[in-house]
């Protein structure tokens, strides 16, 4: 939304940014599944980072290529005049957006897991106190 909203309402830019926003919304599903799969398989953090960087780069490249294809389609220029080096220009925006999503997703998932672990710890403490009280009761009333 941060990348797409500032330019909304400016003619052709609105269509391209809407397409840009739609692409990122659609990329969230496989990216989330990949990240969760890596967590479940207990992948080393450095390996997970490399896999996610490569995946987000591929997604950003596909998004940029789709964006450039949309520009060619709306401009009416023949594809022979298309400058393919433009695909790699401007990659930092889509790529950083996807990386930021991965980071936010990781922080939220870590926080949720931390809360679950804290609840398990409190429950274990309560069970330990209960067992200790039972043991004391059995000592007083065998």
Q: How many CB atoms lie within 10 A of CB 101?
A: 18
- For residue 65, the enclosing domain spans 5-140
Q: How many separate domains does the chain show?
A: 1
More confident position, 1 or 51: 51
Query: Would you place residue 5 in the very low, low, confident or very high pLDDT band (cuts 50, 70, 90)?
Result: low
Residue 138: is its pLDDT beyond 80?
A: yes
Q: What is the pLDDT of residues 100-137, one digit of tens each?
A: 888 998 899 889 999 999 999 999 999 999 999 999 99
Cβ-based neighbours of 88, under 8 Å, separated by 6 or more: 61, 64
Tens digits of per-residue pLDDT, 8-20? 555 666 766 777 7
């Amino acid at each position: 939304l941060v990348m797409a909203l500032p330019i909304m309402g400016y003619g052709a830019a609105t269509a391209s940014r809407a397409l840009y926003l739609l692409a990122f919304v659609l990329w969230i599903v496989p990216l989330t599944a990949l990240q969760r799969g890596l967590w479940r398989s207990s992948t080393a953090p450095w390996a997970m980072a490399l896999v996610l960087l490569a995946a987000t780069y591929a997604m950003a490249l596909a998004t940029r290529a789709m964006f450039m294809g949309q520009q060619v389609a709306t401009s009416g220029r023949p594809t022979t005049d298309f400058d393919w080096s433009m695909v790699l220009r401007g990659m930092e925006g889509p790529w950083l957006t996807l990386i930021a999503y991965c980071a936010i997703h990781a922080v939220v998932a870590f926080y949720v897991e931390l809360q679950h672990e804290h609840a398990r710890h409190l429950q274990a403490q309560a069970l330990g106190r209960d067992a200790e009280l039972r043991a004391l009761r059995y000592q007083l009333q065998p």
